[in-house]
Structure formats: structure tokens, C-alpha cells
Structure 1
Amino acid sequence: MDVLRSRSSRFVATLPTRLYRALPAVILGTLFNILDTGKLLFAPWYLLWRISLAAVAGIVYVYHEVLHTFLVALLALTTPSTLTSQLAMTLGGSRFPGALGAMLIEILPFLRGVATEIRSVLGDDHPGLIPTVMAAYALTSFLTGAAFILLGVLKLGNLVAYFPQTVLTGAIGAIGVSLFVLGLGLPFPPSATPISLSNAGSTLFAKSHLGLLAASFVPAFVLSVTLRSRRIELWTRGLIRSAYYIPVYLLVIPAIFWIAVRAVGFSKEHLIATGWLFTVDATSTSSTAIVATWNYWSLFDFRLVEWWSLKSAIQNIVLLVVIGVLNLPIYVPTLAFTLDVSYDMNHELLGQGAANIFAGVVGTVPNILQYSYSVYVTRANGGRFELSLVIALTTALFFVSGLLLPYVPTILASALVLFIGTELALEAAWEASKTLAWMEYAVVLSTLAGCTFLGFAEGFGVGIGAAALVYLLYGVIDSPARVTRWNEWNELQQVRDQDTDHLAEHPAAPAPVPGRLLSPRSHTPAVIMLDSASGTASATTHEDADVLRHIDACVLTLSGYIFFASVPSLEKALLAPPVPATFFILDVTRAHRIETAAARCLPRCVRELALKGRVLVVCGLAPGSGLHADFGRADIPFLFDPAAAGEGKSILAFATRDACLAWCEREHEKRVALGTKLEGLDDEAKQSAFKSFSRLFNFKLRTVLGPPGGESPEENAPAQEFERFIAAGGRITAYLPGHTISCTGILFVVEGQLNRVAAPEPLDTDQQRPSVQRMLSMLPHQTVRAVRARWSVFSRNQPVHERRLKAGDAFDCRTHSDGVVAEKRSVVVQVEGEELSAWALGKLNEGSRAEAA
């Protein structure tokens, strides 16, 4: 109770400060939610540019009284769809704390198609027409959510990591272009001619539209320039970098607008007719009709639903689900790349599935995570607390928007959309040009052009084809024989001689190079998994690599051309290795080129490894080499001076393997010395741990070893018992988080928590590159293994928690090949003596019998 009271008082005390810091993100998030309603008001123009500029003449909207009812219902459906998405993601459906969701606007043509098909079957006067269409809309949310959940359960989100980052960048640039075009036409009155390729110039620069265009474009342009100008940042002393700058700037626009309107004396009707204010139905502005206008639930009547008529709209329903599912794999990786954070696509799929199932329950349409909104809310320090406030504020506005919308100038929404579109387009077309090679940049531009002029799905296919062509050209360019200079050839030959020397055990083997780590075995595995064609990463862990085991290191080898497809295996080997290590050595000796997107994953991996007390170093990278230039183009900060290690965020790199291993050994010795100091297990602490061990496991020294010989003073009995325990083979050790426990006997956990890690299977060279016949013979066995690995988490026989050891647990290292790693600071007792081992074995058997019972 005291803890609850103290936390409540702390929350109340810090609430004003948190609200002050949350204000920018709350303002932006709420503006974005209001903006989606504006998109629906001008949905035809938006969709013509967002989906396909070439299909302008092919999209025909059916204007009918019934379909007008559906449009009004869609305006009411967008806010509940946004709220369900935001609520699901804020409660843990997304790993991005600033993730903002909204209705999936790309599906609007398919929603209209569903309504049109059902209307053609039932007729205009059928009483079940509107209830059937509303039930179909809710059904699309259920189906979309089920598709997301199925993909997440099957872990198919892992395939998203193999999408080329250049293609995703081009697709986001196309979204920026479409938003920019939407922003240009957003403030124009409904009577204006819709924008198309043929009349864009005459429509935009018409005399009646110039004022709207200037009032929208100039604020967006100024905002974009001030955020990108280094001189303005210095002149304002960093004021434009404040999280309040964008929200305050946007709120100044309507303030200036209404001051000017009052000064000139324009009437409200004139402003609506000329496009300066949104057109809102008069019934929506009356306080008595607010609930009736937005109460779309009144359109549901399941007694009148004609379920059989849904088969006529099955094509549009399927296309709607497919479009919804395809958008998320594009947004999530790009959002993670822009924010420079890691992501779990399977988690995002499950969270988005829950959001859409929730949307179906409340009877609204599908929703999805919004890339552009999430970027700016996150940059405004938005998190789960801030988005909780956005949910509350948006819910309140849901019921009073009919009263507020008439006072929101269209130029505010237009300026915001123009700004976001400009920033996204510049990120793809300008910022990417600073880091990408010209062939990689060509993929970005081709994807951007394809998505803009052919359609989003078609343009994405164009980008994939362009990426494949680029990688083919890289293979052709790198395949011819190259003339190597003497120093390069001599260095390469020296590396090969060193590899042979490390593997050699023959008496005639050359003497070790001075300064090299002495080892009777190899610090490099006898079998190194190399694949120059794909450039994948492989962890070199082997039972004979005693030097690596001694310094707790793992070697990852990269070879050939390293491109985006290498990123998943590299991140998995670094962030989720089969056996955790303290030092990860990335060997790029055999690599000759790396793609910018693949290189950019290193700083993120280094940052996450540092949180766990682990280090990534690179060896085989020569300063000034072509590979070093590739890393430099991606702004990877390498440091070639070991004496300056730890300064800034640089990654330590070595030209030779010997220098890298020597530095790792020195750092290992420092960590061991520091760890011994931090463990703090002096004699008194060890005696206290021995008492805890005796209490937890009911250990009685006199029963196990017998009474001590001779007499001893009573006050010295505990100390002498502890000394007898140590002399009989007991050992008490403390381990810091992340340390691997060298376990040779029976282990008892006294304090903390340990994790059992499956030992890597020995390398089988016959399975690395098998023949066709051998592969076919292995197929059934490998299939069964894959199914068991995939579904083991759902198996009752293999619970997830069984590999975790906590205080009071015991583990026999002699009968298990698993490794043991400390997850928290842990105190462990190990016994190896004959008498103590006999007692420990009996204790293990006793525990096994009790568990079986």
C-alpha cells in the first residue's frame, strides 16, 4: 500500500512536467487525425494521385443518393478506425512507442466497389442495402485482421527483411509526391475542376486559386527551409530544433488567417464558397444533431442483412485485404530505418491484426500504421503516454468535430500535407543521394517514378526488377580478373599464410608471428562457412576454437558482395546468437563491396550490443580501401586507433586478425579484473552465500561429510564448515549479466537468474552444399526439424520457461551440452568432489522424482 501511495504521489508531482513535454506530440497527433477527415472530404483527388496517375480516366465514381449515404458513413467511420488502431498500438501492439495509426485510405475505392456491387444485386429500394454494406465493411476489418495474425503466427514477417531498402526508400518518396499533390488541391472548393495531368497547370494557377495556392505552399516551404537550414539554426540558437517549433508554427497559420479575415471583413459564406473553409453539412453543425450525424451504428440492422449478396463483392473484398496486407511490410521497415531503431515484423503483424479485429468488433473499416505521421510524432518526443492523450482528445473531437471543422481553414490542412509530402520526397530524392552509390540511387528513382505514374503495386515491382538488375551488374563488374598491386597481393598472401599457420599442427609448420596469441589449436574454425555469391554472415563457433572460448568471442565472416539480403543473417548472428559472446569480431577480409543499406545496420547493432555490455569490432578492413569507402559513404564511423577506443560512437577496426585478437584479449583481461572487483565476493560474502545455499537446498555439511576431526570453538564453527565445503570441492562464484559460466559439475543457483543456451551443432560439411540426390534424401528430416522448431513454442511438452534457472534450481552440466549464461547478477555454487557430487546427484534425482509426481 505504501508503494502504491508513493508511486501515485510521484505521478501527480511529475504530471505537469510530463504534460508540458507531451504537448507538441499531442498537438501533432491530433492534427494528423483531423487531417484524415480532410482526406476523405477530398478523397477522389487524393486517390487519383496516390494509386495511379495513369488511371485518371479509368476511375468513375457513382453518384447516387444511396452511395452519398455511404460517403457520409465513411466520414463517421474514419475516426473510430483511427481510434481502434491507435488504442491497439499504444497498448503494446507496436514496438514503436510513437506509432500512430489511422484508417487505411488506400482501400476507399474498394469500399466503394463493395457498395456498388451489392447495390447492383439488391437494388436501390431494398431495405437491407445499407445494413448489408455496413456488415460487409466490418467483415473486411475481420478478414484483414485475420490475415495479419496468420502471417504473424507463421512468422512470415521475417521475409520482409529481404526487401531492398532502396526500393522501400523510393516507395516512401512516391508517397511524399502523392501527398504533395494532394496538398496542392486540398484547399480548392468542391466546384473546382479535379486536377489531372492534362489540366494541372491551368487548374493550379487559375486566378481564383492563386491565393489559396500561395497561402498553402509558402508556409510549408518556409517550414521545410527553416528546418533544413544550418544558418537559421545557428541564428535562432537551435530554437527550430525544439519539439514545440512545428506545432506552434502550424497553430500560428489559423491565427493569422482569422486576424486577416476580421480585418478584411469577408463573410463565412464567401470563405466557404471560395475554398478557404471546409464545407460541412448544416445538420452537422447543430448541437442537437451531432450524435445523429456521427452515429453510424444506427445503420446496422443484422435482421436485414442479405449475406448471400456478399459473393458479388468478393473480388473487391479480396483486393481490399491484399492491399491492406501489402502496405504494412512497406511502412514498418522504412519507419525503423528512418528512426534508426530495431523492429520485429512478426510482432507488428500481430498487433495490426488485433487492431483490425477490434475495428471489426466496433463495426468500422480497416486501419494501418501511418509512416509519415509516426515519424513526426516520434521526433516530437511522442510516446505511449503522449499518444494516450491523443486518443482521449481525438475521442472528444469525434463528437464535436461538426462544430469545430467549420472554423479550421483549409490552408492549415494543405500546408501540413505539403510539408509532409515535401519532406518525404526530399528524403528519397535528395538525402538518399548523399549516401547511395549511383546505381543504388537509380533503384530509388525508378521505384519513385514507377509508384507515381504506374501505381503503387506496379511501381514496387519496377523497383524490385531494378534492384535485381543492379545486383546483376555488380556481379558482372566484379567478376573480371583485376590487376593487384604488390603491397595488396603481399598482404593477401600474408593473411592466407597466417590462416594456414593457425590451422597447422605439423612439426614443419612456420613459427608463430611475434605478438600472436599462442594456441595449440586454431582461433579460426576448421570449417568456415563461406558463400561469396550471397555474402551471408556465418558465425564461426567450433569446439576447437579455444582462444575464442577463452576470450568469450564469436567470429562472423562476410564475403563477396554484401547487400541487403545479408542484413537479416547479420542481425540475427549479432543480436540473437546461438551462444552469447562478449566480443563479436566481424571479419571482412574476403568481402570486396558492401551496399549502403547493409552497412547502415552496423551502428544500430553496436548500440544494442553496448546495452548488453558486448562489443563489436571489425577486422580485415584496410584504411583507404574500396570497402572502407563503401562504409564511409554510409557514414559509418570507424576508428583504427585502439588507444582511442571508447571515444564517441566509433566502431573499432583492425587491418589484421592478429591485432584484433590481441586487443580483444587485453579487453577481456580488463573485464575479468573489473568483474572480479564488481562481484564483491569476499570471504564474508561467500560465507553468506554458503548459508543461503544450505537453506535453499537443505544442505547439512555434517551429514554429507561427517563431523569434523578434533574440537573447535563454537564461534569458529561456521567459518570452519565453509572451509571444509571448499576443500571438499565446493566453489562459490558470482557472475555479471552476460557472462558465460564455465560449468563442469553440478550447478546450484543461489541468487539471480541464468539462461540455458543450446550448444551449436557440429558443422557437417556434407550438409553445407549437398548434391541434388543428397538434398532430396535430407528433405524429409529437415522438414520435420523445421516444423518442430517453428511450433515448439506452442508445444505443451516444451514450455518456454524450462530453459531458465532461478534461485533454488539445480543443473547437471555433465549430462547436458547446453551452455549457461547469466541474465542477472547471479551467485552460483558448483560441486565437483566425490562426496559432494554424490549428494548433489541424489538431490537432482529427488527433484526429478518430485517433478514427475
Structure 2
Amino acid sequence: MPARAIPKRDAEQPLPFTGDSVNDGDFAPDLNTAEHGGQTPPLTRSTRSHSITAQTLSGSYSRNPIRSFAHQTSHSFADTPQYASQGVRERSSQLASYALDAEEYQDRPHRHSFADTDTDTASGRHAGLLSEYSGGRASPDSAWADTIDEDSEPETPETVIGPDHHDSAFFSPSPRRGNDAQSRDARRASTRSKVPPVVVQDTERTPLLPVPRLSRLDSQSNKHNQASDHVRKRRPASTLPARVRETLATGREHLAHLGRSVVNPKNYTRGVVVAHALGSLQMVSAVFLGLLLNLLDALSYGYILFPLGAPIFSQTGPDGISIFFVSCIVSQLCYSLGLSSFRGGVGSEMIEVVPFFHKMAYSIMEQMEGEPPEAVIATTIVSYCLSSILTGLIFLALGAFKLGNLVSFFPRHILIGCIGGVGFFLVVTGIEVSARLGGSLNYDLETLHKLLSADTWYLWSLPLFLAISIMILQRMVKSPFVLPVFFVLIFATFYTIVKGIFHMDLEIVRDAGWIFEQPEAGVKFYRFYSYFKFGSIDGAALASTIPTMFALSFFGIIHVPINVPALGAAVKEDNLDVNRELIAHGISNTLSGFVGSIQNYLVYANSVMFIDNGGDSRTAGLLLAAATAAIWIAGPAMIGYIPICLVGALIFLLGIDLMKEALWDTFGKCHKLEYLTILAIVLIMGIHDFVVGILVGIVLACVSYVVQSSRHPAIRASYTGVVAESTVRRPRADGRYLNKVRGQIRVIKLGGFLFFGTIVSVEDYMRSLINEDHFEKQPVSFIIVDFTHVTDVDFSSSEGFQRINRIVSRKKVKMIISGVSFASPVGRALQNVGLLDEADDDEGCAPPQVFEDLNTALESCENEMLEVFHKHCNSSASKRQQTTPPMSINGTNGTQQIATGGSPTSYGASSLNPAFASPRRGARLVAARSTARETNHDSLSLPDSSSQDAAPSSQSAPSRWRNFAQPLRIILQTFEDVSTRNEDFWHVVAPYFERKEYLAGAVLYSRGDDPDGFYILEKGRFRAEYELDQGSFFEVILPGTTCGELPFFSETDRTGTVAVENDSVAWLLTRDKFNELEKKDQAVAMELLKVGFKLTKERMDAITSYVLVTAS
């Protein structure tokens, strides 16, 4: 088939098995010379330049030692390192030519490699540049900047790769120069066109007048314009003022809608009035339920807003209730007026912050010891309000910058521990309130004797019993009315027993500790505003509470991203925006702080009960706010009639429920370290300090993460070269040799984030590969560390790889890095520690070679092993005497097969022979000897370098096929291991092959083409690329191998695209010639078919193995 010339590929190329296109600039951003046609960049890794100034500076640094190694963490590098893959493809082609006896072996320019020698010399460390081995086109993995001139010619169906062939960037032709103007005009015309043409596939069902496509402007009706304007108006704003204005505008819209509904006469018809009346009754019941919940919460948690055990705050219980009501009113108005997406959302005080308030109050009392009580109370209540304002500002910032999901990154078990700490505090507070302790609960024997005394134990035991009873009842009866009905019954039962049965005076009951003390006469509902005496505020004491304020704010903001999505799922609210809810909470908390109240939030449990009972409207929310305001204005006189056991039961109920969530529900469900972290947070927060508990929890979470991550192995998989081989198609002799020595290659695939906790296991594993016991069983010459699945490495890991490189270098093992981009975080981290810099002479450690992918790294290692094979064949041929080889004692002839699995001494090799100085080198030379024997390159005896009587020959001995003419010679070399037929059989097929010469850049065939030929490559290099839905990969086809056999013999479409990388010579068997062969000699055609399928099976095994290795 005619070859189609294509332009030389650009810098962009697909990575194997990824389908992603990468640019050479991603790997080496400084390769400007290659892009602008400058000098060819060096084919080896660039090393650090050592100028006189640099040597002087380095000497000065060595004379002045640095006290800390931390000063060296910012390691600079002068030149951008280069990939070691440059020139690998060219060397692969030359090695294949040596295997086919097409060229005389020429040793490559020396590069430092422990695979070549076991003696480290200075000349090996300072290696030269690789020479250009062929005059053909450069490898696709090279950075050469040659261009292929292309003559302008008319495009025909035979020369154009159609759009149906989804070829990679390597095979995509560039636009013709002659058609640039036409293409530009076509683009302008398509840009100016308002109405695109209608393409109709004519069938018997096609209408005669198809519906035309309208232009974008004509297709928009007024209704669509209104819808788009509405969507555009609802688009979230980007700045904080704009988002606040948007939220306020939403509230104004709801107010305007309410006003229109009031004045609309259609809303006053009989049916509407009846429907509204029924709805109002249900709404009233919901409002009553919400008011009852607010009242119970106020009596439970608002009453303990200040530490009542301290003498200064002993009379502030009613004020705490008033502050609680103000916070509820402000939040309810904000949410019901449109700031929140939930129409029936219930706002209330954030009761979880009460422990932090007590911490702040005690801190201020300690700082202001000896000051008047008015100053202490003023400073305390101002700190409460400032904490609310701070919480509101944080809410606003999170909503404005759309950080609603930020809290999701915080460890869940720390949050659960904090919740358990709050539960512990509430249980302790319930004991303090119920037992009427004079101060805080102290963990000593005196307090224990007090709690167990005859006149106290029943005061706190009864509320605890009631709390446990309601928890059991809630598990048995699934109804939202259980809680309010239960506490109403407690209230009714208490007064039935006290007044109806025993007719006791309330003062006696109050003195016995069953009812709260009666507030002072004349206490107004707004008395707490009289505490704001700004002139008496102590600034230093106020400043000391700032850390607690931030801890309180942190604990407050974690509720919204958790409660809001849960509430949305419970009430089936689909149009939910967490950032909008954050702004609503920010406004409500900020306003609450400015009006003298505390934090508030959207309560999940109260909102669900309120909405389920008919409160799913903003009107119901406004009525709830009005009813709460009425209770607030009624004053705190009701407190003197509330049973303490009722309030204590509520406090115990919430405390036990929170501790159950933290300690019981997580038992056995989380990791042991995480559970210990939760337990430590609960105990520290409940017994010692809340802020310290959170900090300890964060530290323990970090330790837990490090320990758990360290246990997860960073090594995804480890393979020997027997399993992991490159996709290069090599000649048969090279393949046989590599099959015997591939075990000296070790591939280690790493994954995830490598840090100081995981690098230890990597280092231990690589040490185990080179220890004495393992090294004797399986010598290792190359260790390829694949970073394809590594996301990032920290400084400790980068230093660890530098240490690992020194360790393996001492054992003459070469470490190679693959799958690293120099522009990625992994590549930069390895450069920053100097891992890729050329080592000094006194260190004796070469830097590891770096390859773009694992396939190229494996190809490079195989090439270095083949160097030993061909060097041995060349030296053996030059030293072989032209005499008959000696016969063995047992009478066997010189063509006897020798196994290669044993030690070198089993073949008569002396341990003093330099060729067997190490197990690795000896195994490679034995494999080379046996492989050369199989191809008739060597005699039975191994040449001894110490013998002086061997007369060298100027020419190498001929191989078994050297005297055959082409194409019979290449056919025999290609089919030698897959067919038992000899030259007498295969000479029949030789005339059917046609010699073809291809220039670099030609395309033999593309994916989807008809299989009109079967190729045997004699000289040059092909590249086959496969584009699949799962990704793409490529193969390198060297002389002595085939391509296109499977589609040709199976008569199916081409599965890949094959292009010529270097000027090549191939032998082509066309379809017509094969049909002619089948007619004249059926046996030869059948044997050729079997050979093709055997070769395909070998390639499929290699490709499948590589795919699985790469994906692992």
C-alpha cells in the first residue's frame, strides 16, 4: 500500500495507557532551544554547572558549617533536569540490528551504570553524551527539532486520514499551507452565520417541510426572556455586599408578597376563608408546640446561661432566660422574613455554647478578682455579645466566599468528641441545678458525700430517672408529641401531688429544693440591659476571653453545614443553598449580638416537629416569634413556679443523649485510635477545660492520622522483570536472552501521598531486596521506582529517596525513577533536595535516571542488559580460533544445550575469572553464552580473558543464516522460535514478499483501514499506537519482528496506527500474493497462518502483562 507522508509530530504526545496529552514543556519548561531550532539539547541528564564562582561559594559554605539542616531545605538547582529516555529508542534499533547481524557491534559511549561494571570509576561518574546512532527521524520521545518538509499536493481519499480514524496527536496531520486562506474564510463565514443549515437524512418518514432551526435571537420568546431574567437575577453574587443585598432583597420580596396577599380580594371568598381557617387552626397548634419547646429550652438552658453557682451570678437566672428569648426572637424573625430557604424553620439559642460561656465568666472573675460585681457582670455580658458578633461575622465570611463545605474537611471524630464534651458538661450541670449545690461540681470526696446525703440524693436522682424514662419512652413511641406531652404531664402531676393531695405551701416546697426560688419583686423582662455599663468594662479581662470566643465560634459554625442538609432532607427542601443559610445565620447572630443577646441557629429537631405539625409557612414562623415575645414580656415571675425536677430532667436528657451519640453510638464503628481521641476529648472538656479539650483533640487526630496512614502501605505492587516487560517488539535472539536475565529488574509501584510515616516502609523493603540472603537467591541490577500513582511527596520522603539511592548504589544497583513530571509537585520535590543532581566525586553515587513512563524505563534496562549480550558475542567472535572446538570428555559435541538456571561454576567457569566477579554479571554472561550458542554465535568453551593463546580474528564468525539472501534470511530469523520448519520449507514463500522502503514520517496504515498487507521489518523502526476508550498505548517495532499479522490473517479492520520513525526497509506480503500462495502451496500458507497467530499471542501476553502492571 502507498505510504502517506505526514508532518513530524509536535511536542505534544500522548502518555501510554492514559489518553492524556502532555507537552514537553510540562516536563522540561526550559527547553527553548529545541522549540526554536537551536542546538540539540544533551541526550543525558543535565548536571549542575560548576563555575569558578560556584566552587568558591561551595567552599565557603563548607568552611562555615550551618548550625541547623533546616537552612538547606530550599535547595536550588541551576539547570532543569532532562529525561534519560532521550536516545533509548535509537539504541534499541541498533541492538536489534546487531541481533540480526545487519551491523557490526559498536560499544556505546560509556554512561555510568552499575549494570555494566562492578567497579566504580571516576570516568564512569562523568559520562559523556550519547551520539546519534542513525540518520533517520528522531524518536518521538526525543527532544530533537528536525522537520520533515512536505510538498503541497492535492488531497485524495488515499492520502487523507479521515475523521473516523481517531488517531492520536502523533499521527494527526497539520493543515495544508495552501488551504489556510480558505479555512480562515470558512471560519469567518461560520462565525457570521446566524442560522445554521438544516441537515436532513431523507427517509420515507421525512416530512416535506422540516422544522427550520431558528437563530438564537429568534428562538427566545418573552416567556423565555422572563425565565432567563429570573435565573440571572438569582445567580449568586460574588462579593459580600452583593450577597447581603441579595439576601435582604429576598426578604423584601416575601414581605411584598405577604402585603399583596392581604389586600387581594380573591383571598376573602368563602372557600378560601374556610381553608385558611382550617390551616390557621393547624398553624396555631404548631405555634403552641414551638412555643412550648422554646419555653422548656429557656427554663433548662437559658436559666443556666450564667454560672449560678458563683455568688456574683446567683440572681441572674431570670436574665439568662430573657437573653434566651431575645436570641430566639431575633433568629426567628430573620429566618421567617426570607433569609432562610426553610419557610418553617425554628431559630433558637445555640445551647451548646453554654459551657464556653461559663469558661468565659470564670476567666473574667479570676482576672477581675476584687472588682465590683457590676463591673464583672458588665464585662461578662459584653463578652457574650462580642462572641455572638464574632460568630456572625465568621458565618458571613463563609457564606460570602462560598465555603459552605469547608467544615466537611474537619475530622468527624473531633466533632463527635466535642459533642460528647458538651453532653458531659450538661450532665454535670444537671446535677448542680438539681442538687442545689452552692458552687461548681468538684471531683472530691466532700462533693460525693454531699450528693449521697439523705437530703440531697433524691433531688438529682428523680430528674435523672425522668430523663432515662423519657428516653425509653421515645424508643417505644415514635411521635414528635412524646416529649412535650411528657413534660406537661410532669408539671401537672407535680402540682397535683403538692397541692391536690398534700395541700403543701409552695414556700415549704421551695425551701426543700423542689421549686426554683421566686425572682426579686419588680424584676423587669429587660433588666439584663442594665448590666451594660461600658465604663466599668475591664479591657484586659475581656481580651483574655478571645481564645474562648474563637473556640466557641468554631464550635458554633460546625452546626450549620451539618444541620442544614439534614433538615433539607427531612422536610424535602430541594432548593437548598448552604451558603445562603450561612449568610442568614451570620445576619441573625450579628444582630443578636448588637441587641445584647447571644448565638442562635436553625434547630434541627424543633424545626422538624414544627413543620410536621402544620408550621411549614413563614406566617407560622412570624406568629411563633410574636408568641415568644409575649412570653418574654410577661416577665420572669413564672420561674418561681417551675419544678426543678422538670428542668433537671431536660438538662439530663440532652446531656445523656449527646454523650450517647459520642461514646455509645461510635463504639465498635470507628478506629480504636479515633475512639480513644473521642474519649479523651470528652473527659478533658468535661473535667478540665473546653479549649484545651479541642486542642488536644486536634493533636490526637493528627497523631491518629499519621499512625493509620503509616500502616497503609505506600507500595502498591512489586514485580520482577519477568512479569513487567516493555512493549518493544525485539528480535528472537534478544528476546531469548532477556527472558533469562529479566529477573534482575525489579519494579516497585508507589501510590498515594508519601510522607515521613510511609517512606520508612519503602526504605525497609528496598533494603530487603539488596540484603545478602535475598541477593544470593535473586540478584538485582535495576530497581525501577514508579511514581505514576503518587500524588505528592513531603520533604522527609524526598530525603528518604536520596538516602535510598546511596544505599543501593553501594551494592552496585541502579535506581531508576519513572512516571515523574518535572513540572509536577513530585518532580519539584525531588529536585529541591538535590536527588537529580550529579554527585560529587567523593560520594561515589550517581543520580537516578528519570523516565516519563514505566515502559521507557523498562526498555532502557533491557537495552543495558542487551549490551552485555552483544558485547559478549562480539568479543567471542573476535577471539575464536579457526580450529575445531575440543570434544568434551563424555563425548558430547559442541552443540549441546546448557541450562542457565544454575551457578556460573556449573559450566566450568572459575570463580577467579573476572567475567564472574559478581553473581549478577556471571548470570548475564552465562545467559549470553547460552543464547549465543543457540544462535550459533559461540562455541562450547567460554573465552577466558587470561588465556593468551587465542588468536583474535578480524571478522566475526558467520551465523547460521548469514549466507542466505533476503527475504529468506529475515524470515528465518523472525520465525525461528515459532516454527520448526527450516529453510527448505520457507524458501517457497520468499518470492511472495515484496521489498518496500519507507521514509521517516510515513504512515503504513491507520486504525480502521482494510488489512491489505503483512509486514516483516528488516531495517529501521516502526511505532504502533492504539487508541481505545480506556486510554492509549504504543509499541516500538524493531527489525526482526512483524506487524499487522492479526488483522491480515483474520481479515478484520486495523486496530492501530503504524508510522515509520526511522528510514526503514520492510518486506510486504499483500492480500493478492497470500491468496496466490494459498492456491499454489496450501501447507506453506497454513504454516504462515499459524506463525502469525503465535506471534500475536506473544504480543498479547506482553501487552496484557504490561497493562495489568501499569494499572496496579
State the TM-score, normalizing by the size of structure 2.
Answer: 0.37
Q: Which has the higher contact order (CA 8 A, sep 6+)?
A: 2
* Structure with larger Rg: 2
State the TM-score, normalizing by the size of structure 1.
Answer: 0.47
More helix, by proportion: 1
